């Protein structure tokens, strides 16, 4: 096995460990902040030395005007610098470009959206948002739909995992350009295999309730490398 293929295998294994646990993960280091009168999301981000985008995505804030006195905002823990560099999710060139961009640019004080690249993977009702629930982080969104409803690839990509995982049940993991990944779980059936290339909108599975699920629905995640992102900031806006 070549070094490139070996590193790729490790990367996928780490990503799968990152999504394990039925879409939730413990995060005891995070804290809550009770919004005081006159505080803005920019001010709160500055207090906790985090960025506006992170606060917005974890708290499902689409508009800074939604910040009201008395609200409780979840503040995720800051990532500490480590002596040993973690394996990047992507090639070394991508990792270097991202690092260079972070050093050169200042943190934005505006909430950003990335609509247009991904589509909704299934027609259904949003039953659980991204964020913090029941003492755990919920690393994706849940979309309720009838068993057997077609699941579509949210973007063109390559299948890097198609199988069963504890908690998730039947799981499909797609890798897209720019180090992006999407995950589809609790499927009644997976209709694609590892290594297969898929087009945006292609049916890749069917909705089910395999794994740790109380009813038929799709658990859907978007990740940039290992980092879980709020899908509602990427998917087309619904009325």
Q: Indicate whether 93 and 142 sit together in one domain.
A: no
110 occurs within a structural domain: no
Query: For residue 77, what is the DSSP state?
Result: P
pLDDT tens by residue, 132-159: 766 677 889 999 999 999 999 999 999 9
Q: Indicate whether 156 and 207 sit together in one domain.
A: yes
42 occurs within a structural domain: yes
5 occurs within a structural domain: no
Below-70 pLDDT ranges, the chain: 1-29, 79-108, 133-135, 239
Q: Indicate whether 96 and 131 sit together in one domain.
A: no
Q: Residue 30 burial (CB < 10 Å; 0-12/13-18/19+)? A: middle
Q: Indicate whether 55 and 141 sit together in one domain.
A: no
Say which CATH number the domain at 222 has: 2.70.70.10
Return d(Cα 202, Cα 228) in angstroms, integer.
23
Return d(Cα 103, Cα 110) in angstroms, integer.
18
pLDDT tens by residue, 41-80: 999 999 999 999 999 999 999 999 899 999 999 998 876 5
The pLDDT score that the predictor gives to residue 16 is 55
Range of the domain at 181: 125-233
Terminus-to-terminus CA distance in the chain, angstroms? 49
157 occurs within a structural domain: yes
């Amino acid at each position: 096995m070549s070094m490139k293929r070996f590193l790729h295998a490790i990367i996928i294994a780490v990503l799968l460990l990152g999504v394990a646990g039925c879409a939730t993960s413990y995060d005891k280091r995070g804290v809550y902040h009770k919004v005081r009168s006159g505080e803005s999301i920019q001010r709160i981000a500055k207090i906790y030395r985090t960025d506006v985008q992170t606060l917005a995505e974890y708290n499902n804030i689409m508009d800074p005007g939604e910040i009201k006195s008395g609200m409780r905002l979840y503040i995720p823990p800051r990532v500490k610098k480590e002596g040993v560099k973690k394996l990047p999710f992507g090639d070394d060139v991508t990792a270097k470009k991202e690092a260079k961009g972070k050093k050169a640019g200042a943190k934005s004080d505006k909430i950003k959206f990335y609509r247009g690249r991904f589509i909704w993977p299934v027609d259904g009702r949003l039953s659980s948002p991204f964020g913090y629930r029941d003492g755990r982080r919920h690393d994706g969104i849940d979309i309720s739909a009838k068993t057997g409803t077609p699941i579509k690839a949210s973007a063109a990509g390559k299948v890097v995992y198609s199988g069963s995982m504890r908690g998730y049940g039947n799981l499909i993991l797609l890798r897209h350009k720019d180090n992006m990944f999407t995950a589809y779980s609790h499927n009644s059936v997976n209709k694609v295999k590892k290594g297969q290339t898929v087009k945006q909108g292609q049916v890749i599975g069917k909705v089910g309730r395999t794994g740790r699920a109380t009813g038929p629905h799709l658990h859907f995640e978007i990740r940039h490398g290992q980092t879980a992102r709020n899908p509602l900031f990427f998917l087309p806006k619904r009325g």
